[in-house]
Amino acid sequence: MNIYRTRAGLRHQFRDVLNFYYPDCLDTAVGGYVAQLDERDGHVYDTQTRHLVATARGVHNFSLGVLADGPHWCRYAAEHGLQFLSSAHWDDDRQGYDWLLEGRTPTDRTRYCYGHAFVLLAAARALQAGIPGARGELERADRVLEDRFWDSEYELYADQASSEWDLAAYRGQNANMHVCEALLAASEATGEPRFLERAYTVANRFTRDVTQATDGLLWEHYTADWEPDLSYNEDSPRHQFRPPGYQPGHHAEWAKLLALLADHRSEPWLLERARELFDAAVDLGWDDEYGGLYYTVDADGEPIVADKYGWVHTEAIGASALLSRTDDDYLEWYDRLWEHARDHLINPRYGNWYERLTRTHERDGPNHGPAVEPGYHPLTNCWLAMRVLEEAPAAFDSGRC
């Protein structure tokens, strides 16, 4: 039996990830989180860098810890991070969130929609958890996204701007996906219908309309008028944030979001498209020889970057858990993904997830850098699986293993 079909197994994994980061991630001198912990043994390799996304994800993670009745220190840790997010990262003169800090000093004030989306997500989860100041932060992040990034002509979000709010021409899938995620969380936290309506609009526009140009697959990079830029970064296949190709992980992630939207909307296309996108993720991305999902592929499923990323597999786990509520076939993928993660991607000593492995599941480096992944993906998808187990326990019935 897959232990991750049980509450105990999921909670154990959830707490392992939280415990890996706490208390070493808290900085009581500078403030905020030290997110740069070595994934092998947890030692801190950078005490000063503060990345907007890492800060926001930390607030989100510890807020989920509160919501999931996790360790008692989750509330303090969430409060600690939210205070830093709302003060050090916020640029009151230019009304936006700074991307990168050294201590409390801004070193990169580029305005990324992606980063602002994570602030909205963090504030929404913090509001659900009852963290002081969360509502004000949610309203502020929502206002910036609406006033600065929303493009009413295309009904999608722009991607980035200078510190003075000059918009770049580039448009991207990833920012819109994470705004959709944040809007869903804001809807849950506030009960305001407008958040759900906007999430639906973005999902409909991107996963149905925009993808018509690429035969239903999710391309990552676009021009200012939302035409696929198929040559974008074609000479940089390992670009950290904007690689070329199709990403199986993002197909699974959108499948997850559509399945969540289907909990609130009755349109049949939501679950139909969610299944299509998940099926595309595993059909194109699964490595039949070594197991696991590739990072990027071409339209025929040939790998461009064959590395195996932890976040890709956690998103597929969350999507398969949600889809299993209406189709037993997705339980097979849920079990297979957890098996692969247990064998290769989860640190056997601490329970945190490795960021990246080679195709044959070897670690090719320390995976250090300012833009780290502080447990947001495994925590989010463990939490979703726990919700499925609690709300629809028959979906994980061990008799169907």
Q: Which among 80, 116, 178, 250 is annotated as catalytic?
A: 250
Q: What is the mean pLDDT of each run of 10 residues along the chain (401 residues)?
A: 94 98 95 94 94 98 97 98 98 98 98 98 98 98 98 98 98 98 98 98 98 98 98 94 96 98 97 98 98 98 97 98 96 98 97 96 82 91 96 70 34
CATH number corresponding to 3-400: 1.50.10.10
CA distance 381 to 391: 15
250 catalytic, yes or no?
yes
Does pTM top 0.95 for this prediction?
yes
The reply to whether 264 belongs to the active site is: no
pLDDT of the residue at 339: 98
What integer pLDDT is reported at residue 300 of this predicted model? 96
Q: Which are the contacts of 258, defined by CB distance < 8 A and separation ≥ 6?
A: 203, 207, 270, 271, 273, 274, 277
CA-nearest of 79, 51, 68, 83 to 11 is 68
pLDDT of 114-171, one tens digit each?
Answer: 999 999 999 999 999 999 999 999 999 999 999 999 999 999 999 999 999 999 999 9
The pLDDT of residue 372 is 78
Closest by CA to 190, choosing from 126, 254, 95, 257, is 126
First-to-last alpha carbon distance for the chain, in angstroms, is: 6
Domain ranges of the chain: 3-400
| pLDDT of 154 | 98
- Counting residues of the chain whose pLDDT is more than 70, the rounded percentage is 99
Tokens of 123: 């504030």
pLDDT at 125: 98
The predicted pLDDT at position 313 comes to 98
